[in-house]
Amino acid sequence: MAWFESFRDRVVLVTGASSGIGRATALAFAAAGARVALVARRQALLDAVAAEAGDGRALAIATDVTEAAAVGAAFDRVVATWGAVDVVVNNAGVLLPSAVVDITARDLDAMLRVNVFGALFVMQEAVRRMRRQGGGTIVNVASLAGRRGYSPLGGYSATKFALVGLTEALRTELHGEPIHVALVEPGVVETPMVEQITHDEEFLDIWPSALNMPPSWVVWAIFAAVRFRLVEVGVPPGAATIEKLAALAPGVADTVVRWAQSVGQWVAGSKRGG
């Protein structure tokens, strides 16, 4: 598409870039001509993604986003290499499924450190850099679970609710400044992280696995948020709006659950039937 040209030679920093949505996003931006900084904890996996991106378009930076100093050092390296950070895709996340009555403080703390504090440190560093360079775009990848809680995702939902709140507050703080802040809220995406809940019967009653989406759907949402300066994008389209309505009218949520179950059963049956 012609609007892909708008990404050419822009500098994009992607957290959680070693797998799943982050990996797919980083490779897509590289394919569109951007220069991509890959940020995650595992250097070997990042090196593999950088090699796949090819043509020297990727820079692999092993970073623990839960450490503010490490985040700052990662931005320093990108700016020293390419001169700026035009787009930040704040995607790093941890999912440790558990019923609320069983969740441990240790697991909740682990999710908070990455999903909330890690995202916060990246946002803060991005704003500092973008103010100095005269603008930029921050895309926070939250979740539909950040609009409504489902078991066994109670702790994960709590962290994503927090990320939604931080994103919306940051947007108001930056009003009038040339820094765009977007929120992308995917449903269930086929990633290594989601494999942890693919056999949970309680969750499957709410969201049949046949409805899981490929990472490419989220990539398109991120691209659209950057290119068209969208404020909030649900994946699939309209899903975030449905979640908001469900919060206002719990009966709507029951209807959505029944719809999801029937559609999931139909899709699964269609696949079996060839």
* Residues identified as active-site: 156
- String of DSSP letters for 120-176: HHHHHHHHHHHHHHT-EEEEEE--GGGTS--TTBHHHHHHHHHHHHHHHHHHHHTTT
> Which residue type sits at 142?
A
Cα–Cα nearest to 257, from 200, 211, 205, 210: 205
Torsion, Cα 23 237 194 269, to 10 degrees, reads -120
Q: Give the pairing type, strands 179-186 and 11-15.
A: unpaired
Measure the CA–CA gap between 123 and 121, rounded to whole angstroms: 5
Q: How far apart are CA 190 and CA 170, in angstroms?
A: 29
Q: In angstroms, rounded to a whole number, what is the distance separating the alpha carbons of residues 40 and 28?
A: 17
Sheet holding 232-235, edge to edge: 58-62, 35-40, 11-15, 87-90, 136-141, 179-186, 232-235
**CA–CA distance, 270 with 71 (Å, rounded to integer):** 46
